[in-house]
Structure 1
Amino acid sequence: MAGLWNWSVAVRIEPDRVRDALAGALERGVTEIGTTGPDAMLCDVYHVGGDFPTLVDVYLAPDEVDEETIASAVAVRLAAAVLVPDDTLNPSRYVCADPDGTLRPVHVDERETDDGAERWHPRPCTGDDPACAAHPGCHRSRWKPDPTPERPAAA
């Protein structure tokens, strides 16, 4: 155990429900900050504005499982999309775990507030978004931009 996961959920969800979904996906204990449990991970849940108003910080996240896979399982359990930072240095790009478990790259607009980052206007990463051009990396990511009818995938 060593990791830190920072996620955003597309609906306002109570902390206990988030921790229960995470515990179910990982099949292990998850507690709030300030409490202890045997071999439990710590999870802080708080709320902000925006299209993803529930922020989730997971401390002591296991490094032997893929973060996106667990986020996908949590999204299914919560019936809500979950944003996970992707593998680029583009600050507007995330992997979105949809409520059906699908994983796809997206861009969001972000604004820092005193309460935390608010994320707005999620849209698919197609390679044509201005955010793609502003920061290199979308095409080098393992989460390739999704082709559109106007911009088919490269042959």
Structure 2
Amino acid sequence: MLTVNATDVRKDFSNIIDQAVHQRPLFIKRSKDYLCLSNLATIESILSIYHFTAETELEQDGSYTITSNEMDLVENGNTEEEACEKLAESILEYAQEYYEEYSLWSKAPNRKKHIPYVLKAIILSDVKQIAEEIQKDVEQG
């Protein structure tokens, strides 16, 4: 792997940041640790293959229940749009909580697969944008 030593990063920090932001992601080695330094546009591009998907069910009372396929989140609303917006709010709230406790949740076997979705939600950081990203399949209840 093409890496830059952490010592060299410290010596020329501003230039390294400029390279990572304007040229290409950089891989940095510190002892036995490896990390990637990149701008958010590149991360967004990497995460573009990940989509929030959900199953929407029309309930007998006329309300809609929407269930995330990627995370254990379920919401209900009077309309499909309301349910979707509530799910988007839950996704963003979950992502923020996950990120705050990243060292715990990223190691949990049943939550590790949430990482790309958590990062995508945090980068989007807007309920309306997240709601627009949710791809729904509707089931009749």
Question: What TM-score do you get using the length of structure 2 for normalisation?
Answer: 0.26
Question: What TM-score do you get using the length of structure 1 for normalisation?
Answer: 0.24
Larger-gyration structure (1/2): 2
- Structure 1 or 2: larger strand share? 1
